[in-house]
A and B are shown apart, each in its own frame.
Chain A
């Protein structure tokens, strides 16, 4: 009897493994997209993630091994708005007929302004270009989820109603998250809603919740800024009467100490700009972490 049960388990296990391989593969270029595709399509797709939760989407470039890994993909989901500068190359490497889907394409765009130009993540995202960091607004994510849901419905018409229902539920969660952010930031007076960050990644957040984005040099992990840039940073912090700044993780201790000493500004908990930072963190965790950090720093924890 035991042998029979073991055999049955083995056969069942094998058949479910075969079923798993039968499912269409959807490749994602950002962990947040993996989360959204999984929430929408569940077990009906196999999600293959090219860039992990620790990756930097501005510097990530898929290796030949990555490309080989997604040769069976029927759909590739990118963040869009030119975040993935390698997208054309990736498309050319895939078999014909693969759906290339940009999740942020139909989200209203913000352009990068002149003052933020030198603080952007990379030369591609400079003045006049479209700011690619649309996911920092839950309302924008809701729009993206709705369109992504429709694209998955087209891919899996036999599961249309299930995907539509999942999309409604996820959109409702994102609406609640947006309202939660509005509620949390309401304790910060309008004239103190100034978000001083390492690079201009929070334009959509600022636009959605009434903040002024002030990116300054010296808060990044990049090479030390020049004395002229540092002097400018100190000048901006004093002029704008900034209470707290949000450095990147691993930013130069020496530079941060100098900025604090010169201005008396508080160093806040680093914000998650381009990724969730860890595999067990969700999109909502990322937004909550950032909002908690912002509210704590700008109200002094009151």
Chain B
């Protein structure tokens, strides 16, 4: 190859290219997922089913109530001011949507309802609202990174 600068240049370039690919893999910045939270790890756009704990607190005991998600009953009760249940619910893009319906006895016009949902490995979330005698409300709970 002596005296053939073009060939030498091509040779050096080929060697550099051959070395560049493995070196790039070793030296470039890598991103490791910092969170192992189950909902987030499954992807924000996906629907996943997760175990949760649902905790309802009423200021006045309703005659009856039932908790639904997508038309499927997650539990029901009545005559108590506090009720809790373990259930499995769908997270759609990190959001859980549930519907609570029921009614109160004749002497209660309105009452306060507090709903907590606590998925495994994720922080608990709580929402409160005023409800009327025959009630049916949809509540949304969202879990996002940070």
Residues of chain B lying within 8 A (CB to CB) of residue A106: 120-121
Contact in complex: A108, B122 (CB < 8 Å) = yes
Q: In the complex, A108 Cα to B121 Cα: how many Å?
A: 4
Mark each residue of chain A from 135 to 176: 1 if its CB lies under 8 Å from any CB of chain B, else 0.
000010001001100100000000000000000100000000
Q: Cβ of B53 and Cβ of A108 under 8 Å apart?
A: no
In the complex the two chains form, is A111's CB within 8 Å of B37's CB? no
Chain B: which residue is nearest A139 at the CB level?
B124
CA distance A147 to B118 in the complex (A): 11
Pair B124/A109 contact, Cβ less than 8 Å? no
Distance in angstroms from A132 CB to nearest chain B CB is 15
For window 17-73 of B, CB contacts with A under 8 Å fall at: 34, 36-37, 53
A168 vs B82: C-alpha distance when bound (angstroms):
10
**Chain B residues, Cβ within 8 Å of A107:** 121
A205: min CB distance to chain B, Å: 15
Size of interface on A: residues with Cβ below 8 Å to B = 11
A146 touching B121 by the CB < 8 A rule? Answer: no
Contact: A108 with B86, CB < 8 Å? no
Given A139-B124, A143-B118, A150-B86, A108-B34 contact (CB < 8 Å): no
Is B106 at the interface (CB under 8 A from chain A)?
no
- How far apart are the CA atoms of A201 and B120 in the complex, in Å? 23
Interface-centre pick from A106, A107, A139, A168 (highest chain B CB count, 10 A): A106
Please give, as numbers and ranges, the residues of chain A lying within 8 Å of B37 by CB-CB distance.
108-109
Whether the pair B123, A108 counts as a contact (CB closer than 8 A) is: yes
CA distance A262 to B37 in the complex (A): 43
User: Which residue on A lies nearest to B86, using beta carbons?
Assistant: A150
Query: Which applies to chain A's interface (DSSP): helix, strand, loop or mixed?
Result: helix
Which residue of A is nearest B55, CB measured? A171
Q: Within 8 Å CB of A168, what residues of B?
A: 84
Q: Would you list which residues of chain A between 72 and 129 have a CB under 8 Å from chain B?
A: 106-109, 111
- Which residues of chain B have C-beta atoms less than 8 A from A111's C-beta? 34
Contact status A109-B34, CB under 8 Å = no
**Docked-complex contact A146 and B53, CB < 8 angstroms:** yes
For the complex, what is the distance from the CA of A72 to the CA of B141, rounded to whole Å?
44
Contact residues of B between 117 and 138, Cβ < 8 Å to A: 118, 120-124
Residues of A within 8 A of B86 (CB): 150
Q: How far is the CB of B144 from chain A (nearest CB, A)?
A: 13
State in angstroms the CA–CA spacing of A168 and B53 once bound together.
13
Mark each residue of chain B from 56 to 99: 1 if its CB lies under 8 Å from any CB of chain A, else 0. Answer: 00000000000000000000000000001010000000000000
Minimum CB–CB distance for A291 against chain B, Å: 21
- Least CB distance, B94 to chain A, in whole angstroms: 14
Residues from chain A with Cβ under 8 Å of B124 in the complex = 139, 143
Chain B, Cβ-Cβ closest to A105: B121
Residue of B nearest to A106 (CB): B120
Task: Give Cα A119–Cα B112 distance, bound, in whole angstroms.
Answer: 46
Give Cα A137 to B123, complex, Å: 12
Q: Which residues of B contact A108 (CB under 8 A)?
A: 37, 121-123
Q: With the chains together, A11 CA to B124 CA distance in Å?
A: 51
Q: List 15 A-B contacts (CB under 8 A).
A: A106-B120, A106-B121, A107-B121, A108-B37, A108-B121, A108-B122, A109-B36, A109-B37, A109-B121, A111-B34, A143-B124, A146-B53, A146-B118, A147-B120, A150-B86
Q: A109-B37, A146-B53 are in contact. List 5 more A-B contacts (CB 8 A).
A: A107-B121, A108-B37, A109-B36, A109-B121, A139-B124
- Chain B residues near A (Cβ < 8 Å): 34, 36-37, 53, 84, 86, 118, 120-124
Q: Which 3 A-B pairs have the closest CB atoms?
A: A106-B120, A108-B123, A106-B121
